[in-house]
Amino acid sequence: MTLNVTPWLVAALMAVSFIANSKTITVEHALGTTQLDTKPERVVVLGMDTLDILDYLDIEPIGVVKAPIPSYLTDYQDDKYISVGTLHEPDFETIFTLKPDLIIASNRNSTAYEELSKIAPTVVFMADAQKFWQTTQQGWRMFGQIFEIEQKVESLISKTEEKIDAVKAKTKAKDATALMVMTNGGNVTTFGSGSRYNAIFDEFGFKQLVHNDKALAHGELISFEFISQANPDYLLLMDRDRAIGRASGEAKQDFYNALVGQTNAAKNDRITELDSQAWYISASGITATNIMIEDMNRALR
């Protein structure tokens, strides 16, 4: 007897196989709990941090935000990946038509969580700057649970923590005091402990040189005179314009001036430009976190 296997039958068998291999779970995330089936295949991603993680774990989404996007993720600008809005404004209609199994929101679009949840199971990956590494681990573990790759994720966490601890040991040994500054449309701002870049001080162990307003998302406005008077041993510089694709990123050149040149940081070649895409756009992604660690090691050279 010959069995006639039609394309419809193959598809049905594959669907049954997928259902059999998945299970229903409840996951905790930044905005609550969500019930979903593991190993979702049709995934919509609304944040660069999450896209970074899925890319690293070889999990391919069907819909993504396409700009601004880190240089190491530009493959997702290909037409095969559907554009689902911006980092701040999801395209609800397009997301609905994609019939996703899972939507992953991020900090910049977390206010849309309830509306997105009406379309499909939605989780939010949103690391807390005050507890960067702790909440980043929680997010990575959430993805390990969702895609049933817990062991792989635990291995990544262990290796990453070793690298973070090694940086902290260096900063402690050097008694490293740093000033973190960001250029933004011609302005210069600073961030201290408790700010959105709290990881520099709490996770990586730099001592802060000045205290500033923790609540300001884009930092506290300062001048080159301020930097000269503060006289940092280490000057950490980030170019926001470069991060969001608004400029080619030549901010560091502006810091080669007479005022900054008087600082210990300049005299000892300790002005370090951080990877703005990793720190500003995709922080807490797996690749981004490793880039952040590399930046800290470069600063401590």
Give mean pLDDT, residues 243-267.
82
pLDDT beyond 90 at 216: no
Interatomic CA distance for residues 153 and 142, integer angstroms: 9
pLDDT of residue 185: 81
Give mean pLDDT, residues 177-200.
91
pLDDT beyond 50 at 17: no
**pLDDT tens across 284-297, in order?**
999 999 999 999 99
pLDDT of residue 209: 87
User: At 219, is the pLDDT very low, low, confident or very high (cuts 50, 70, 90)?
Assistant: confident
Of 11-15, 197-201, 219-223, which gets the smallest average pLDDT?
11-15
Of 27-31, 42-46, 120-124, 255-259, which gets the smallest average pLDDT?
255-259
Of 31-40, 118-127, 160-169, 246-255, which gets the smallest average pLDDT?
246-255
Tokens describing residue 20:
């059999």
User: At 11, is the pLDDT very low, low, confident or very high (cuts 50, 70, 90)?
Assistant: very low
> pTM (2 decimals)?
0.90
pLDDT of residue 22: 83
- How is residue 81 annotated by DSSP? S
pLDDT of residue 245: 81
pLDDT of residue 4: 53
Answer yes or no: are the C-beta atoms of 87 and 108 closer than 8 Å. Answer: yes
The distance from CA 259 to its chain's CA centroid, rounded to whole angstroms, is: 33
What mean pLDDT is reported for the chain? 91
Interatomic CA distance for residues 71 and 201, integer angstroms: 27
- How is residue 280 annotated by DSSP? I
Could you tell me whether strands 82-83 and 102-106 are parallel, antiparallel, or unpaired per DSSP bridges?
unpaired
pLDDT beyond 60 at 9: no
Interatomic CA distance for residues 161 and 163, integer angstroms: 5
